Structure formats: structure tokens, C-alpha cells
Chains A and B, each alone.
Chain A
Amino acid sequence: MAKRVGMEVAIAVAEAVGMCNVDVAACYPITPQSHIAEHLSDIVADGRSDTEYVTVESEHSAISVVAGASGTGARAYTATSSQGLMLMHEILPIISAMRLPICIAVANRAVSGPLNILNDHSDIIPQRDAGWIVMFSENGQEAIDLSIQSFKIAEREDVLLPVAVNIDGFQLTHMVEPVEFPEQKAINKFLPPRKPYATLHPDKVVTMGAFAMSDIFAEVMKAKDEALKNSKKAILEVWAEWERTFGRRYRPVETYKADDAETLLITMGSMGETAEIAVNELREKGLPVGLVKLRLWRPFPFEEFRAAVRKAKLLIVTDRAVSFGGPGGPVYGEIRSALYNEKERPDVYDYIIGLGGRDVAVDDFTAMVEKAVKDHKKGLKKDYEFYGVREK
């Protein structure tokens, strides 16, 4: 039986990755990801893992190193955050186009400027069209589980795509939580050595990332889009296997008291746990409120999401990033377009909250819901709103 321990989540993620038989890891420490990079290098230095740990001079190099390593057939891992992810951005679509199964932990942090090291989702959101599988963890246990699963998902022959596991910076990475590690034996069984589709090897020549002009480029892009959409099936299978093996269930869209709810809160990442408490409080007050949590952001789980919100009259989206000059919050835009072709669709309100590490407490959720429900009863059609922004 696996042991339950109290551990800082970033350290726990590094420990979990250390158990995954990773061949090459290249990390450049950046707040709030640093503890992952530091502890992973400790694990390697202590000889607890035979990973080749490459100390690089920038995130651009880190992602390039793991891309090259993955091309040779290695199981490759990196972790980053905020500006580091922005610096990696140039390489991200190349990796997904070359179908290299790299895993990356993103300790979510606000993007400059002004300089800010605290949590929101404005680093991963701009990477959403890079062709990566993107998933969000809600607590320490999920961060560990998703990190281990990510290798299995990425390396499946019917996927072969990079996977980003999002862990809210500080809110999650720096919290000491009770977590349970699977046994090493069980991980070895769940995660056998990688069987690469093709490898860079002088004896068997292959060109990865070759040149393509307009005559074939669109076909390659279509193939990439289909690959990402089809990966959902494989993700569901891996999660089903995880549930059979370790007993913890993962779904693309998680719900909480949503079956009979007229109003649904929608969260992504660590806010879900706070929102659950708010839902309980609102239920005690007699408001039929529920919660829908997005775990999978790319590929977007359209079917599961539509099924989860079918009966609701009002959706209240909470966004931890801004799509400047656009539809407000990026999740909001996504959800509205997911529902656009439905015959009967709920109204959707959007709150942009928790930017740059601003606290989002239970009271904030209850206040948001009460305000939105009141406005909705009055028949107000609303667009997005920055919640809690000081005005005079």
C-alpha cells in the first residue's frame, strides 16, 4: 500500500518525475517552478535516478535540449513558468508538429509586465494554439498523478504529442499537502520504457522537421489538428487504466453538485477546491448552484462539457487570464463558442479574477454567484467583468 506523506507539491512533482524513468531532463529554474528543477537535479545527483540532467542557460535551450533528446527516442522532461514558457514558445509548435512526446510541468505564473511572480494563467493561455495537450491539476495529488500519466499519454503511438501539466504557482507548488505516491513497481508496470516511432540514428536515416512549402503545408497542419483531437480517446483510456490501477478517477470535465444545478460555476486549476466550499455555502442558503471544473483544456472536451452544462440556465465562468481586446477571458470565449450551435443554451457570464496572485476566497465566489444570479433574474445580458477591481 502506498504511503501518505506531507510534502511540498513542487518537491512531490519532482519526486514523481524521478520515478518515471526519464532519460533526459533539462530545466532552467524560474520562480515558482524552481523547486521542481532543484529537487529533480538533487534526485539525479544523489543517484536515485539515471536521468541525464542538462543544466542549460535558458528556457529556449531547455526545450531545445529535450526536443533533440526526444528525437533520439529518449523520454524527456522539462518544467517552466511564465517568462520561461514565453521564451520556449518558439519551439512549442515545432515539437508538436514533429510529434515528439515531451512532458512539461508549467508552474503557472503571471506574465510581465509589470513584473509579477504570483499565480494566474496568462502564461499557458498564449500557448494554447501550439498543438500541445494541455491539462490542469487542482491539488498536489493531481499534480503528481497527471505528471506520471503525461508520459504515458504523450508516448502512446496513437498520440505522440507533447503534454503540458499545469500546476498553479505558489497556490499549489509551494503548499505542503498530504500526497500519496504510487509504488515504484506499479509505476514501472504502468509506464513501460518508451517505444519511439522513429529515432535520429545514423544507421537508419530520418529527417525530422523538414522543409515544406504551400503545396503540402496545409495537409500537414490538418494532420496535426486531427492528431490532437483524436488524442482525447487515448487520454480517456489512460485515465481509465489509472483508475483501475490506482483507484483515482480522472475525467476531462469534473463536476461537483452539478446534476440539479440551475447555475454553474466554471473553474480551471486550483480554484476548484475553493469554489467547492462556496458551492456548499450557497447550497445551504438554498441556491441551486453547482461547479464544473475543466481539467482538459486542449484538446477541448466539447462533448463532455456540453453534457455537463445541459440543464443549467446560467454559467459563471471564472478566468485567470485576459484576452486583451477580445472576448474578455479566454475560457469564456471558448465556452461560448462551444455552446453556440446548441438549440437551448445557457447564458454565460464571465468574471476575470485572481490575476497576478490576487486572493480568490470563498466569499468572492459566493459574491460573484449572488450578483450574477441577481443580474440574470433581471434579464441583464452581460459581458465580461474584472471582479474586485477597485473603482472610484
Chain B
Amino acid sequence: MKKEKKWPEAWHEVKVGAMVFEPCSAREYLTGSWRAQRPQFNNLRCIKCGLCYIFCPEGCISQNAEGFFEADLDYCKGCGICAHECWPGAITMVEEG
């Protein structure tokens, strides 16, 4: 079976009323493309307090196997709240690109 295209490529392909028939498809909308700055984690200074994880409004920061934190750049919008809240100064925002 041919897999249905996820996105309309031309106006003819827009569904009536631009309705979305697939639940949870917002996950495929990679909001990370809006980003101008990305967070850089310095694990030498990280104390694993998890403030960045708690404060991230996108919920895109997670803890890895070693207990350090990393951002999912598919969804990180680069707001910089994690860097602002990180009091040990383990996170710095760097220019994208």
C-alpha cells in the first residue's frame, strides 16, 4: 500500500478545512527550525540539579544514562530559559549555524 503523504505539497492537496485526521501528529512538526540560538551543555560544571529540565517550556530537555542533561534540538526553540536558570553556569547559548 502506498503511504499517504504527510504534508500537502501544493494547494490542491490541502484537505478540506485544513483538517488533521492523524492524532498526535503535532510531534512531526519540528519546531526546532525556528531557533536562532542553541544551548550548549558543559558537563564539567553540571551538578545534575535538573533545573533546566524543570524549567524548559518545551519539555525537550531529558536526562541521559550518565545523569547529565541534553536538549532535543528537533524541538528546542532556543528560548534560553535553561541557560538563565542554570546557576552553576553549565549552559551557554551559542549562535545557531
> What is A's interface to B at a CB cutoff of 8 Å?
97-100, 160, 197-198, 205-212, 216, 218-220, 222-223, 226
Contacts and interface: CB of A to CB of B under 8 A. Distances in A.
Best-buried of B8, B10, B17, B19 by chain A (most CB within 10 Å): B17
25 contacts: A98-B17, A98-B19, A99-B16, A99-B17, A100-B17, A160-B17, A197-B17, A198-B16, A198-B17, A198-B19, A205-B21, A206-B20, A206-B21, A208-B19, A210-B20, A211-B29, A218-B11, A219-B8, A219-B11, A219-B14, A220-B14, A220-B18, A223-B12, A223-B18, A226-B11
Best-buried of B8, B12, B18 by chain A (most CB within 10 Å): B18
A160 B16 contact: yes
Best-buried of B10, B12, B19 by chain A (most CB within 10 Å): B19
Contacts of B19: 98, 198, 206-208, 210
B35 to A, nearest CB: 14
B11 A223 contact: yes
Contacts of A205: 21, 23
Contacts of B14: 216, 219-220, 223
Closest 6 CB pairs of A and B: A99-B17, A207-B20, A222-B11, A219-B11, A223-B14, A205-B23
Interface in B9-40: 10-14, 16-21, 23, 29
Contacts, number: 51
Nearest to A215: B7
Given A97-B18, A198-B16, 13 more contacts: A160-B16, A197-B17, A205-B21, A205-B23, A206-B19, A206-B20, A210-B18, A216-B8, A219-B8, A220-B11, A223-B14, A223-B18, A226-B11
B11 A97 contact: no
Contacts of B13: 219
Contacts of B7: 216
A208 B10 CA distance: 20
Given A99-B16, A160-B16, A198 B10 contact: no
